[in-house]
Amino acid sequence: MTEIESHYRTENGSILIEMRLRTVMQIFNSLDPAPFHEKDLDPDAEAYITEIVQDFPLAQPMKIVIHLPCREAECEEAGTLEMAIRNHYNYLEASAAREMRLKFRQGRVSLAIGLSFLFVMAGAFHVIQSYNLFQGPTSFLTQGLLIVSWVAMWEPITIFLYGWWPIRRKQRIYEKIRGMKVEVRHDDREGDGNPPLVVPREESQGSLTK
């Protein structure tokens, strides 16, 4: 077991992403007027789930476990939590796919602009060279044109070599979360105020093994 795995409970080889809620609605964005199963997740809940998945290889099996009081766990809305979470991450995955398309479109446009500028500067370079063979201040000018020409290619090179893979990684993470099993479990404990959204490992070990 790695150090990071020691911070999370496991069941049948799956890492558990655990949340303890007082009500079903705590996991959702209270400002979203959409129907229940189409609501956006609360930003803190979304970030918590996503950041945990990012900490593990994509091949690592994982499961979302939501602890609710018995009354809340038996309500109709609790039964649609899996669909709601799947819909939310399906939307995020689609957004990441659109972002990827826009990134490559930006790369193609930048490449066309960069190549055009490079060809123009190369032509100017040869014209200047033909009149003055790198003598005096003209040498400085021609070298400057050559450098600027390649600097113009930096943006498309960055996009096609490095700019796309973080988006692809994010898309694959959302795809994984969308396909995760979501399990609602009863939590009979009572307490004052809102219980924490995240289940502390030390606390969850005792309450879930009884």
Q: Starting from the edge strand earliest in sequence, which strands make up the sheet with 10-11, in order?
A: 10-11, 14-20, 62-68, 181-186
Digit-coded pLDDT (tens) for 102-151: 999 999 999 999 898 888 887 877 777 676 555 555 566 667 777 887 88
What is the model's pTM? 0.76
Digit-coded pLDDT (tens) for 11-69: 898 999 998 888 888 888 766 555 555 678 888 899 999 999 999 999 999 999 998 88
**Degrees (nearest 5) of the Cα angle 52, 159, 119?**
175
**pLDDT score for 135:** 55
